[in-house]
């Protein structure tokens, strides 16, 4: 079924094996410490994870999109939303811009080491006063000879603190609204760039950062693509980001549901395992059905994406539904654990708080409904 064949399965096995041995045993510690170790990246790069769909000439694997799906699914099953976010943001958010629109210079300087796991990237769009409303960004990049002078701030940036470079959206023409935005690759250690780690409800292993740019000099050659075309690049890739979030949410739900079923088989109440109680059984049945529905929907969109179709409305639908289902599933699975569900000794509590970011990040559920509503209602006329 769907787009997976034996080759994808082998990749999945290799990756899962690596994650089972080198990631899952350590995520508790990373969650506790609030950051990921630097030596995490290289082995994943050696498995090809950061260049799955990118061209071979830059060190990529030039494989189909289903390999990317395998990667997303497997890293989403590691009981740490923060870990998944970090290792997904680097290739999917940051490197995709470089691979698809960057110059050869940028590809050599950032994409190649990015794929090799030597340089880690992040994508910086959201600002304290504007998120999905990209046209209203205030960070400015003023051209001065062979460089831009960058001023402003960004927030909620995954990999914002411990990365090596950031793909930053800035206004190169402040008067032009959406048509005045450019994407710049900024070295994390540039003079004038400071980052603060934000404390969060969940995603504890991830270094979500607030960035301040104070007269940061960025060479003109670090601009991705055309000047003032940034909005177009961002919009073009939002569909991918949302689809990836939907796939990630379903995979994390799979893991949580399996975990819950295992607990329900072991835990007894009134003399029998709690999985024998009809009310809980029906709840599991309902959740499974909803999960299977969204898996089928996601895979259909993955197929379309793989074939080169950008399904903006449908990807917004998938993100909306999958991240909201994840919250529902997290609430109901946690409930099956009773008091233990509230304790950190079981991982369901972490899943619950990590899930909560889904309907917010990458555009809130409300933004998704704005997009869908607009397209569906206008289409109906």
How many residues belong to the site for other proteins (CB under 8 A)?
A: 73
The answer to whether 88 touches 39, Cβ cutoff 8 Å, is: no
- What distance in Å separates the CA atoms of residue 83 and residue 294, rounded to the nearest whole number? 23
Does residue 91 bind other proteins (CB under 8 A)?
Answer: no
Nearest in space to 111 (alpha carbons), one of 125, 123, 94: 94
**Which of 218, 321, 334, 336: binder of other proteins (CB under 8 A)?**
321
Quick one: tokens of 109? 């300087």
- Contact positions with other proteins (CB under 8 A) in 115-154: none
Q: Residue 72 Cβ, how far from other proteins at the closest point, in Å?
A: 11
Nearest in space to 44 (alpha carbons), one of 52, 53, 56: 52
Name the one residue in this structure whose structure tokens are 């529905």: 293
- What distance in Å separates the CA atoms of residue 208 and residue 196, rounded to the nearest whole number? 8
State in Å, rounded, how far the first CA of the chain is from the last one. Answer: 36
**Which of 176, 235, 258, 343: binder of other proteins (CB under 8 A)?**
258
**Which of 267, 303, 328, 353: binder of other proteins (CB under 8 A)?**
303
Does residue 201 bind other proteins (CB under 8 A)?
Answer: no
Does residue 251 bind other proteins (CB under 8 A)?
Answer: yes
Q: Residue 211 Cβ, how far from other proteins at the closest point, in Å?
A: 32
- Contact positions with other proteins (CB under 8 A) in 271-300: 275, 281-282, 284-286, 288-290, 292-297, 299-300
Classify 219 as helix, strand or coil: strand
- Contact positions with other proteins (CB under 8 A) in 22-61: 46-48, 61
Q: Residue 225 Cβ, how far from other proteins at the closest point, in Å?
A: 29
Q: Left (φ > 0), alpha (ψ -120 to 50) or beta: where does 127 sit?
A: beta
Looking at beta carbons only, is 17 or 32 nearer to other proteins? 17
Looking at beta carbons only, is 159 or 298 nearer to other proteins? 298
Looking at beta carbons only, is 13 or 144 nearer to other proteins? 13
- What distance in Å separates the CA atoms of residue 44 and residue 344, rounded to the nearest whole number? 28
Does residue 344 bind other proteins (CB under 8 A)?
Answer: no
- What distance in Å separates the CA atoms of residue 362 and residue 209, rounded to the nearest whole number? 15
- What distance in Å separates the CA atoms of residue 129 and residue 127, rounded to the nearest whole number? 5
Which residue in the list 32, 241, 366, 378 is annotated as catalytic?
241
**Which of 151, 194, 255, 364: binder of other proteins (CB under 8 A)?**
255
- Active site (annotated) includes residue 241: yes
Classify 47 as helix, strand or coil: coil
Does residue 304 bind other proteins (CB under 8 A)?
Answer: yes
Could you tell me where the beta strands, DSSP code E, fall in the chain? 121-124, 140-144, 147-157, 165-171, 181-187, 193-197, 209-219, 223-224, 268-269, 272-273
Looking at beta carbons only, is 9 or 196 nearer to other proteins? 9
Does residue 343 bind other proteins (CB under 8 A)?
Answer: no
Does residue 330 bind other proteins (CB under 8 A)?
Answer: no
Quick one: tokens of 133? 């409303």
Looking at beta carbons only, is 10 or 343 nearer to other proteins? 10
Q: Residue 197 Cβ, how far from other proteins at the closest point, in Å?
A: 33
What is the set of active-site residues?
Answer: 241
């Amino acid at each position: 079924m769907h787009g997976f064949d034996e080759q994808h399965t082998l990749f999945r096995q290799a990756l899962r094996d690596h994650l089972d041995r080198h990631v899952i045993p350590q995520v508790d510690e990373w969650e506790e410490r609030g950051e990921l170790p630097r030596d995490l990246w290289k082995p994943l790069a050696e498995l090809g994870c950061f260049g799955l769909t990118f061209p071979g000439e830059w060190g990529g694997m030039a494989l189909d999109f289903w390999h990317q799906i395998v990667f997303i699914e497997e890293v989403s099953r590691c009981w740490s939303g923060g870990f998944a976010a970090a290792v997904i943001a680097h290739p999917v958010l940051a490197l995709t811009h470089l691979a698809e629109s960057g110059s050869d210079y940028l590809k050599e300087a950032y994409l190649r080491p990015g794929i090799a796991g030597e340089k880690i990237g992040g994508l910086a769009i959201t600002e304290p006063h504007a998120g999905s409303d990209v046209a209203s960004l205030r960070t400015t990049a003023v051209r001065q000879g062979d460089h831009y002078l960058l001023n402003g701030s960004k927030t909620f940036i995954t990999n914002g603190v411990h990365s090596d470079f950031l793909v930053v959206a800035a206004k190169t023409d402040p008067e032009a609204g959406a048509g005045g935005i450019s994407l710049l690759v900024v070295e994390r250690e540039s003079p004038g760039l400071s980052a603060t780690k934000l404390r969060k409800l969940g995603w504890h292993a991830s270094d979500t950062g607030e960035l301040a740019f104070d007269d940061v000099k960025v060479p003109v050659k670090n601009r991705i693509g055309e000047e003032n075309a940034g909005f177009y690049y961002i919009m073009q890739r939002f569909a991918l980001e949302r689809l990836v979030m939907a796939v990630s949410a379903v995979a994390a739900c799979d893991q949580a549901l399996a975990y819950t079923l295992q607990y329900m088989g072991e835990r007894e109440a009134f003399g029998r395992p709690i999985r024998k109680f009809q009310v809980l059984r029906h709840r599991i049945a309902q959740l499974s059905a909803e999960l299977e529905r969204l898996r089928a929907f996601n895979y259909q969109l993955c197929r379309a994406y793989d074939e080169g179709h950008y399904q903006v409305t449908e990807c917004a639908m998938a993100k909306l539904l999958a991240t909201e289902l994840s919250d529902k599933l997290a609430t109901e699975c946690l409930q099956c654990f009773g008091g233990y569900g509230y304790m950190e000794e079981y991982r369901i509590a972490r899943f619950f708080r990590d899930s909560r970011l889904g309907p917010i990040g990458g555009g809130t559920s409300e933004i998704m409904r704005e997009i869908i509503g607009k397209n569906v209602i206008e289409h109906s006329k």
